Structure 1
């Protein structure tokens, strides 16, 4: 009888407050964002994305970037835990990196910043306005700046399994981009399926290639979207390949930055890739944590508290989200009465 093989312990990055809320068309109050960050830390998460230091005219959901960092750094609820916590900000442009560094100098900035390159050049041009050559040159400068300021740098590789603009991509290109990021000083790599193109067999194939080429699992973070409903299947495939670091959002929210926020049209990143803006999103934290717990995997978080947070995030967003487990709960372990 065969036994499914996978790691017995994982590291979870919770990214609701950045990637999750960026797709919301209502403005999420700073106080609500702070509450979610605090509760996630108290539930046991030690890697969180806080905000995006990009242009707030394009993404007004992040107009409170500095205010939110100041609030979490001074939070009395989690002050005793912050030395154990790594707080990340997204910094797609060099100007955003400079903002993050300034915030760090002022005592409230991030521990880690994240930039992103797409293996598909049409996608790269749409997201950043730069060619691959231009973006790599900027990235080298930004890594050096970040390290000089005492900030870690995460390089995201996107469109690994396909591009919503240009179609199919080659897995080997993403492996090459991962090598290049690490060779110029990136501290870790987020491997992202930003539009839900990855089927589980290709996830297993890709992460097997990655771990063959660069076998330290601490370097690699799996980031799956569920546009086509394959999120948890892809998590399982990555686990089987040996991946130990994962990212997710409460309720499975998130995706492309909204182009309509607070009752007004905004640039965002342009037109939505899919006609229905509600089909996008990430792997759902609540359901993933419950699944891993049932598999005997140590996630380091309080599962019951995660489910409570998920119920509140639904209230913050004002609608039913993707989590099944906040309604069904965990699988009962005691007598059922039947």
Structure 2
């Protein structure tokens, strides 16, 4: 068991992963002010939007407008998700507005087919071209593997299969590989065993990132297991926004782990995040007001822990 890290990196994915699952269109102005507030909270990495086809995800049709309008501190690294070369073409028209690009595919054939209508092999073939061009443009690249811990359609996903895909992404130019618990099927024992295995398969030069959902209430437990397995990079979504549209009709996946819940737990454990928790909670409150509904975040409801004394016990 590895020692706990002293500091972690958090990529906020709510503006993309969270917003795209909202049924009602969010006004561009509201998206911009929410992202600006997230940037002012100390979050060092924010996934801003995705250059997908507007008819596929209408919520993100304003990707270019959002990217051009946001105003975050210069030390915040902004990333965009691109599904294919056409999406990359659109993103590169705004190359001076972001720093990283993310690509994605599923570890299971069924989920990949339902999500992007391609086989895993077809997805990898296309992503190699995307990643080569993104690297030429000087962008840092992340490859995200969905259903890395289990698939709602196929069930068990072989860790060896996930490792094989991760190696393909590494060899295609990814600096970082994200492992997605897309529908909240992971458990802490599994997480603790898989990340050291994947680290051994990929080598020390690749950043490994954990992306957990809180579908079955195990999100923070999985974060803790990942920490002890040597992971110091996480993706999360403010307000516990998000989900997965391809999670199976019987069990729709709820949101990502809430960023403020992760930050609160880590900071209480003495692990630095660089995030101003009250400022982050303000962003969640703003999102709640924009969406007009309660959100799943615990800390946004209860507030930060306020210690009157720091005595033992």
The aligned counterpart of 2:224 is 236
1:152 Cα deviation (Å)? Answer: 2.1
SS of equivalent residue, structure 2 residue 180:
strand
1:274 Cα deviation (Å)? Answer: 4.1
| Partner deviation per Cα, 1:222-250 (whole Å, 9 max, x = no partner) | 10011111111110010010100011111
1:288 Cα deviation (Å)? Answer: 1.1
1:5 Cα deviation (Å)? Answer: 3.6
Matched-pair contact (CA < 8 Å) for 1:156–1:191? yes
SS of equivalent residue, structure 2 residue 185:
coil
1:103 Cα deviation (Å)? Answer: 2.5
State which drifts further: 87-96 or 196-205: 87-96
| Partner deviation per Cα, 1:276-330 (whole Å, 9 max, x = no partner) | 75x5110011111111111011001111211222222211221111111122222
Match of 2:285 among 276, 288, 311: 311
Matched-pair contact (CA < 8 Å) for 1:22–1:255? no
Task: Give the 3 Å change call, closer, same or farther, for CA 216–41 of structure 1 in structure 2.
Answer: farther
Q: In the alignment, does 2:130 pair up with 1:142?
A: yes
Pairs aligned (count): 310
The aligned counterpart of 2:275 is 301
Q: In the alignment, does 2:297 pair up with 1:323?
A: yes
1:9 Cα deviation (Å)? Answer: 0.5
1:283 and 1:133 map into 2 onto residues whose CA distance is 30
1:130 and 1:332 map into 2 onto residues whose CA distance is 50
1:326 and 1:6 map into 2 onto residues whose CA distance is 25
Matched-pair contact (CA < 8 Å) for 1:217–1:242? no
SS of equivalent residue, structure 1 residue 138:
helix
1:201 and 1:332 map into 2 onto residues whose CA distance is 31
Q: In the alignment, does 2:13 pair up with 1:24?
A: no
Task: Give the 3 Å change call, closer, same or farther, for CA 328–26 of structure 1 in structure 2.
Answer: same
Alignment of 1:232-271 (within 5 A): 232-257=220-245
Matched-pair contact (CA < 8 Å) for 1:115–1:156? yes
Alignment of 1:84-95 (within 5 A): 84-95=75-86
Matched-pair contact (CA < 8 Å) for 1:251–1:284? yes
1:117 Cα deviation (Å)? Answer: 1.8
| Partner deviation per Cα, 1:65-102 (whole Å, 9 max, x = no partner) | 01001102xx3xx3xx22x2211111112211221122
Matched-pair contact (CA < 8 Å) for 1:211–1:217? no
The aligned counterpart of 1:99 is 90
1:53 and 1:165 map into 2 onto residues whose CA distance is 27
Q: In the alignment, does 2:191 pair up with 1:197?
A: no
SS of equivalent residue, structure 2 residue 33:
helix
2:216 and 2:249 map into 1 onto residues whose CA distance is 11
For structure 2, which runs of at least 5 residues remain unmatched after alignment? none
Task: Give the 3 Å change call, closer, same or farther, for CA 177–276 of structure 1 in structure 2.
Answer: closer
Q: TM-score, normalised by structure 2?
A: 0.93
SS of equivalent residue, structure 2 residue 94:
helix
1:24 and 1:245 map into 2 onto residues whose CA distance is 26
| Partner deviation per Cα, 1:157-198 (whole Å, 9 max, x = no partner) | 121111112221111211121112111211211111111111
Q: TM-score, normalised by structure 1?
A: 0.86
The aligned counterpart of 1:289 is 263
The aligned counterpart of 1:117 is 105
Kindly report the root-mean-square deviation, in angstroms, between the aligned alpha carbons of the 2 structures.
2.0
Matched-pair contact (CA < 8 Å) for 1:217–1:244? no
Matched-pair contact (CA < 8 Å) for 1:22–1:256? no
1:218 and 1:41 map into 2 onto residues whose CA distance is 26
| Partner deviation per Cα, 1:182-216 (whole Å, 9 max, x = no partner) | 11211211111111111111111111112233353
| Partner deviation per Cα, 1:17-48 (whole Å, 9 max, x = no partner) | 10011111111111111111111111111110
1:63 Cα deviation (Å)? Answer: 0.9
Matched-pair contact (CA < 8 Å) for 2:2–2:230? no
State which drifts further: 46-55 or 305-314: 305-314
The aligned counterpart of 1:34 is 32
